[in-house]
Structure 1
């Protein structure tokens, strides 16, 4: 200690340039880094920061089309707005706290107000090009890791006004990254829903919405299972849409100034509270809030002049006023819903009656489950004191802050050998293990009572702490780690059925993943290559030559703890479970887990391959 104190002097104090600080502490600007397997990984924040600028131009009335091209590692965004003022092109993408959005006359109710966005993209890219066209003149510049490498002279141009941004995230910061097209499509669809009339062309596909949040819910809700037509209400600076379905949980999509606030915030809290209050007043009954909100599917978008987010990544709105002289966001939303939802339900008695039936059904189910729930929770409380199924970690998603808790992971394994290998090789700070004793119950079509009646499901629910919703979720990543054989795939499907049936929000919010582990180890005396499929194995054999040793891992338990540590550490391969825009939970579950339907039979027959076909494909 004395030595540390002795070394602490003027030479210990460093002053970093903004570019250096962004590169040294990227998490402060874009959240966790990641490899692209999670929707909140940094590479998607970089994409968002660039597109946000183009969206803000559209909102201000300039540009009806945005062109986006994204490959595995490269991003290109072209808008047709006004273009960055030519004399400030370099400053706008390289100097912190420089931008047009500090001038409230030029930009009203935009997302990017802090002057950091594109500077962070620039600093964290191995190559970054910015190009602006205004009134027949073109100005371009290029950077490498935030350092200017090309300052192109002003040129004549016949291109349309607007801004072109091209960048490649730096692979020394984003290790082994790759853009997931499903995440990108969800991100771009949200932009389209929030900006009715805007056309976004993404990798040759058109994204367009005419009816805003109404279209969003039409694509998210199963038309056959919604209990009444979607309620769609719009006013100055606010738009909401809501309905009820048959799934468990609450499903919300909340936005501020076009930004998808995945963590919610004051606007979502106000929305949830106002719906409950208004429904109680309309029916004159003190319904339980959980019964009103059970199976709700809702979306809300608000625009405010100076939004205050709880992080640079803008995923959660803090407390803020609607404008300098306006009401709080809470009061604004509450007043709007109280007036317009009340009027709507009185104008449409059929919708009102359908809503009442849905609430009363939830009430009956809750009361029916109360006794079972109480006994199960008592058992779980005792079991948690000595829960042999759970080997916990030290840091948790709901308790700790910083980048490490964002990596908090629960591995769900089957059998003692697999859980033993993971337990011995895991990072005890952020990685926990829950061990199943065999194949879990197929819970498709069953009532939620089964979660409490089945001891294993109940203990898993308590380990995750999701009984009352995702607010208390203890692990940001829930990873299904099963063998890559028929039994392992079956267990995988049964677990996914459990989550989709009873806790769909866990999947919708991008918390569920499949662990990919190698099928083969190919090695000689010098090199070892791990292969995840037959094609990679053949490539490894060709590379190592002279009859290398080949090991086929039949189960996770066969992989030694030392080797397993390589697959669940920095280079972990996770496959996210993503719900597509045009698929619904009930259709997925009935297809895969329901009775042997003709559709599934036909799919198996059409796609069945014999060993000869597989061999020919591998060696083709």
Structure 2
């Protein structure tokens, strides 16, 4: 059989302008697109890039307020810094590698993407307007999809110095998107915590912090902190931490030059090491890191002139030279705090000793559980594993495990999955409610123990084998109950999985509407009604469970167009209160809540 050959010659070589490249390969510049349902979606990154420039002005001592407004899909940001130099306004917002971020005299600790951020916003917006005010004069430029439409210059005697940016993300790039105000508020609070003395406004609501990272931590932990929050701040390093009573594992918020590093990096590992050394030095002990840090909640922020990140979106710091000074400064600050705060030092010691006791008790239970597991089988029951895992060079980000209920649901999924990146773990039914139980109880529950081992999180989440843990249950009362039981399990013992964005819920269609020519899958009654109105003589099927969807159909719903809802939490303090209310002992309050909210 003859095969056609593609001609590869000079005519196939293309040179894209920077504008074309940003629009064609937007993921390289802003990480992802999305529709606004995830806080890391591109529309929020565009806003971040604009605000970052205003933050840089504040860091360099110019302007102590930033005003932001959101109206439908248009965002406006006004700062009161120095203002972009009028003669270079167009270049600064449209030509890549143009800017002052390379000059450490002008910007010592830059937050934004060097010379790229505002250009990416401009290129990816259907409307982009920038106005710079300096010394009673102004310059204005208006763009559409990165192409200059108009520019003006003139006098503005009543306007304070600064920069005004107005933009609307392009629906050609982002599709049908909607801003979630809560995600924006969370970002603004982070800016406020990291920049004491700065006030940010979203409409009339003000975001301001007097105590920096201490305010962040107190807001997250609330009254669950076991002792007064440790807080240290100097020119390059700021950190805060405390321990909590009911939480397992470690929870951290880490930042570099104001950028939230969701995957941590060398600054976070050095901070953790410094805490351990400072505590051991004060108590003259040799506690293990696990015993010292179990139940800790901490935040750390560093300012660096030349940060090296492992990706364009700056989720993880790679600078190795920061380790020694961060460890030394943290160790000294922790030792000083404990010498000055005897009540806190006693409570911390009690917590560490309790952690040590529980760990040793757990070790005995672990040994018994492993011996019992060996007798049953070498392989983990009910797991259909995949080839690539989280941390591998290939397929790491796509590695996913679906946690399903029953064999019928998992059967369709196993048959239609991608065997390279998608694993399936099948529950036998409703798992045990683990709220309020000790960690040792996991080892007495065969199913939850097997799932923990399948995920690779027995000791800590650094051994996590899958980037995405997807709870896939039927869209009925039993399915929702299983969701709650699984989330209770993760939030009780492995809340870091949720905080770091690894846990998701799978959305599958509730209805199939079809005729002889076309089939549509609908995820809610509104989509169903629309399909019924648009198709001639349609047949409507209501899927009662995942097992009713054939393997051929199911492949569409876990393929490239998979719909996932990321499980997100506002604060650590809210976890215990929520779980106590919904998953704890039955109370008159919960009974009345259920009765009032029954549909």
**Shared fold (TM-score greater than 0.5)?**
yes
Residues 400-415 of structure 1 aligned to structure 2 (within 5 Å): 400=393, 405-415=396-406
Deviations, residues 4-59 of structure 1 (Å, cap 9, x unaligned): 99955555544332223333333332334444444434333322222211111121
Query: How many pairs align?
Result: 595
Is contact 1:45-1:313 (8 Å) kept?
A: no
Is contact 2:380-2:454 (8 Å) kept?
A: no
Q: CA 1:74–1:477 in structure 2 vs 1: closer, same or farther (change >3 Å)? A: farther
Is contact 2:251-2:297 (8 Å) kept?
A: yes
Deviation, 1:253, is: 1.0
Q: Which residue of 2 aligns with 1:393?
A: 386
Q: Distance in 1 between matches of 2:555 and 2:362?
A: 42
Three-state SS of the structure 2 residue aligned to 1:591 is helix
Q: Which residue of 2 aligns with 1:502?
A: 493
**1:330 equivalenced with 2:329 (yes/no):** no
User: Residue 590 of structure 1: which of 580, 584, 589 is its match?
Assistant: 580
**1:534 equivalenced with 2:533 (yes/no):** no
**1:455 equivalenced with 2:449 (yes/no):** no
Q: CA 1:112–1:575 in structure 2 vs 1: closer, same or farther (change >3 Å)? A: same
Is contact 2:381-2:450 (8 Å) kept?
A: no
Deviation, 1:414, is: 0.6
Q: Which residue of 2 aligns with 1:523?
A: 514
Q: CA 1:560–1:161 in structure 2 vs 1: closer, same or farther (change >3 Å)? A: farther
Q: CA 1:371–1:530 in structure 2 vs 1: closer, same or farther (change >3 Å)? A: same
Deviation, 1:541, is: 3.6
**1:473 equivalenced with 2:474 (yes/no):** no
Q: CA 1:180–1:436 in structure 2 vs 1: closer, same or farther (change >3 Å)? A: farther
Deviations, residues 139-174 of structure 1 (Å, cap 9, x unaligned): 3323333333x1222144444332232333344444
Is the deviation greater in 98-107 or in 482-491? 98-107
Deviation, 1:99, is: 0.8
Deviation, 1:569, is: 2.8
Q: Which residue of 2 aligns with 1:561?
A: 551
Three-state SS of the structure 1 residue aligned to 2:227 is coil
Is contact 1:102-1:113 (8 Å) kept?
A: no
Is the deviation greater in 353-362 or in 475-484? 475-484
Is contact 1:266-1:318 (8 Å) kept?
A: yes
Is contact 2:291-2:355 (8 Å) kept?
A: yes
Q: Distance in 2 between matches of 1:411 and 1:428?
A: 12
Deviation, 1:527, is: 4.4
**1:433 equivalenced with 2:432 (yes/no):** no
**1:145 equivalenced with 2:136 (yes/no):** no
Deviation, 1:378, is: 5.5
Deviation, 1:372, is: 1.9
After TM superposition, the score normalised by the length of structure 2 is 0.92
Q: Which residue of 1 aligns with 2:231?
A: 232
Q: Which residue of 1 aligns with 2:563?
A: 573
Q: Which residue of 2 aligns with 1:363?
A: 356
Q: Distance in 1 between matches of 2:164 and 2:215?
A: 29
Deviation, 1:211, is: 1.2
Q: Distance in 2 between matches of 1:122 and 1:303?
A: 27
Q: Distance in 2 between matches of 1:428 and 1:73?
A: 40
Residues 104-503 of structure 1 aligned to structure 2 (within 5 Å): 104-112=104-112, 114-148=114-148, 150-157=149-156, 158-174=158-174, 177-202=177-202, 204-223=204-223, 225-246=224-245, 247-319=247-319, 328-377=321-370, 386-400=379-393, 405-503=396-494
Three-state SS of the structure 2 residue aligned to 1:127 is strand
Q: CA 1:23–1:379 in structure 2 vs 1: closer, same or farther (change >3 Å)? A: farther
Is contact 2:274-2:329 (8 Å) kept?
A: no
Q: Distance in 2 between matches of 1:160 and 1:564?
A: 58
Is contact 1:182-1:578 (8 Å) kept?
A: no
Q: CA 1:8–1:135 in structure 2 vs 1: closer, same or farther (change >3 Å)? A: same
Deviations, residues 303-339 of structure 1 (Å, cap 9, x unaligned): 122222221111111116xxxxxxx422222222222
After TM superposition, the score normalised by the length of structure 1 is 0.89
Structure 2 unpaired stretches of 5+: none
Q: CA 1:377–1:209 in structure 2 vs 1: closer, same or farther (change >3 Å)? A: farther
Q: Distance in 1 between matches of 2:29 and 2:370?
A: 41
Structure 1 unpaired stretches of 5+: 321-327, 610-620
Is contact 1:133-1:163 (8 Å) kept?
A: yes
Q: Distance in 2 between matches of 1:497 and 1:330?
A: 36
**1:82 equivalenced with 2:82 (yes/no):** yes
Q: Distance in 2 between matches of 1:107 and 1:65?
A: 18
**1:549 equivalenced with 2:546 (yes/no):** no
Q: Distance in 2 between matches of 1:461 and 1:50?
A: 42
Q: CA 1:392–1:168 in structure 2 vs 1: closer, same or farther (change >3 Å)? A: farther
Deviation, 1:110, is: 1.7
Q: CA 1:127–1:417 in structure 2 vs 1: closer, same or farther (change >3 Å)? A: farther
RMSD of Structure 2 on Structure 1 (CA): 2.6
Q: Distance in 2 between matches of 1:156 and 1:382?
A: 84
Is contact 1:254-1:262 (8 Å) kept?
A: yes
Q: CA 1:383–1:209 in structure 2 vs 1: closer, same or farther (change >3 Å)? A: farther
Q: Distance in 2 between matches of 1:598 and 1:312?
A: 52
Deviation, 1:115, is: 1.3
Three-state SS of the structure 1 residue aligned to 2:585 is coil
Q: CA 1:376–1:175 in structure 2 vs 1: closer, same or farther (change >3 Å)? A: farther
Deviation, 1:217, is: 0.7
Deviation, 1:72, is: 6.8
Q: Distance in 1 between matches of 2:318 and 2:242?
A: 26
Q: CA 1:477–1:68 in structure 2 vs 1: closer, same or farther (change >3 Å)? A: farther
Three-state SS of the structure 1 residue aligned to 2:152 is coil
Q: CA 1:419–1:92 in structure 2 vs 1: closer, same or farther (change >3 Å)? A: same
Q: CA 1:510–1:279 in structure 2 vs 1: closer, same or farther (change >3 Å)? A: same
Is contact 1:380-1:462 (8 Å) kept?
A: no
Q: Distance in 2 between matches of 1:78 and 1:384?
A: 63
Deviation, 1:497, is: 0.3
Is contact 1:111-1:258 (8 Å) kept?
A: yes
Three-state SS of the structure 2 residue aligned to 1:84 is coil
Q: Distance in 1 between matches of 2:215 and 2:525?
A: 42
